[in-house]
Amino acid sequence: MKKLRIAVIASNFIRIPPRLKDLPHGYSGAPEMIAKEITEGLVKKGHDVTLFASGDSKTSAKLFWLTKKALATTKGIGVKKHLPFELFHLSLAYQKIQKGKFDLINCHFDWPSSLFAPFVEIPTVITLHSPLNSFSPLMKKVLKCSSKNSNYISISNSQRKGFPELNFVKTIYHGIDIKKFKFNIQPENYFIFVGRIVPDKGAHLAIQICKKLGKKLYIIGDYSRDNDYYINYFKKEIEPNLDNKKIIWLGKWIPEKEVINFYRNARALILPLQWEEPFGLTMIEAMACGTPVIAFNRGSASEIIKDGKNGFLANDINEMTQKIKKIDTIHREDCRKWVEEKFTLDKMIENYEKFFYQILKIRR
């Protein structure tokens, strides 16, 4: 088939690929990592790809940038002053695309890209990385009015429930490089929580459950020091429970290789979700190592976890506590096999490529 000329637009707030040392407190870097993987995957398939990102990004594609460094690490900008620069970056990207020769745009900018998409003839495919139920009625009205020429990809079916009227055209699950996540059949006697330390992720409930059961819990993740709400949450709900014996916070974000080792040796990943999780990369990362996941049945959890097969779904703390006691009934081989079947990088790139051809065929 004809090779495509694709513009991939990422934020210039966090560089591509994201580095742990550069991530602002409270940011995971997941959207940037997925944008990187899609870009590199399409280049490997022979497509002519231009990445619009910060100038310090590393990519095999052509790179177009507005700022030499990512805004998150630019002195005087940082977290609170970056939005105007991002919108300017997005505006310039669409101006260049309008003048150049492209077949399709894949944007990882969430909602702002839909404001610019109507000004170019070629289609924009927007991968939505955030939950949509937080949008105000006014914001939803703006998006509905400006969604001409915008095609939205959801990263889970449950994500669509927050804004079902949007022009969703495909659900494409995230994928990971399973070669990095080595399978382990024999775990150690501890549990893990991996994610941002915010109320929505439920680290405080993971602590509560493990203390009740007398289980060892490692907490991997960080909280935002730029927001009093999250600081107070950590000081009140997390810090008083840390004892460095049974409940252990590993401090900030740690290198990926170390996280993978904790995944591999954990008996289970515990996620008492308090929000509608759009996807949840930590779930498939854990399963790729053979580690089952126990999560509250919210957001994408039921699309990733096959209850009783590669983990458990629970509706409250009591149910989760009882299911943790049955964790050894899960075969770790089934966890790995599930990821190999549904959540690999190759699968994700293949799904994006097929969909891009489909969109262009419909337009012709």
User: How does pLDDT run across 188-240, given as a tens digit for each residue?
Assistant: 999 999 998 999 999 999 999 999 999 999 999 988 777 888 899 999 999 99
Q: Exposed e or buried b for every residue in 186-220, given b needs 16+ CB within 10 A?
A: ebeebbbbbbbbbeebbbbbbbbbbeeeebbbbbb
Q: Exposed e or buried b for every residue in 47-58, given b needs 16+ CB within 10 A?
A: bbbbbbbbebbe
Task: Output the six-digit token pair for 3.
Answer: 């090779």
DSSP 26-78: T---HHHHHHHHHHHHHHHTT-EEEEE--TT---SSEEE-SSSS-GGGSTTTT
Give the chain's domain count: 2
Average pLDDT, rounded, for the chain: 91
Q: Are 321 and 213 in contact, with CB atoms under 8 Å apart?
A: yes
Is pLDDT above 80 for 144? Answer: no
Quick one: 350 and 317 in the same domain? no
Quick one: 130 and 227 in the same domain? no
State residue 105 phi and psi, 5-degree precision: -115, 130
User: How does pLDDT run across 93-140, given as a tens digit for each residue?
Assistant: 999 998 888 999 999 987 788 888 888 889 999 999 988 887 778 877
Quick one: 197 and 332 in the same domain? yes
Q: Which domain holds residue 205?
A: 178-342
Q: What is the pLDDT of residue 155?
A: 97
Report the pLDDT averaged over residues 179-193.
97
Quick one: 207 and 76 in the same domain? no
Report the pLDDT averaged over residues 282-304.
97
Is pLDDT above 70 for 3? Answer: yes
* CB atoms closer than 10 angstroms to residue 134: 11
Is pLDDT above 70 for 79? Answer: no
Quick one: 118 and 166 in the same domain? yes
Quick one: 108 and 31 in the same domain? yes
Quick one: 257 and 109 in the same domain? no
Find all residues with CB under 8 Å of 216, minimum gap 6, and list them.
Answer: 189, 190, 191, 210, 245, 246, 247, 248
Is pLDDT above 80 for 258? Answer: yes
Is pLDDT above 70 for 78? Answer: no
Quick one: 171 and 200 in the same domain? no
Quick one: 185 and 315 in the same domain? yes
Q: Are 80 and 225 in contact, with CB atoms under 8 Å apart?
A: no
Q: What is the pLDDT of residue 364?
A: 62
Quick one: 16 and 147 in the same domain? yes
Quick one: 58 and 92 in the same domain? yes
**CATH number of the structural domain spanning residue 327:** 3.40.50.2000
Q: Which residue has the higher pLDDT, 283 or 360?
A: 283
Q: Which residue has the higher pLDDT, 172 or 168?
A: 172
Quick one: 28 and 135 in the same domain? yes
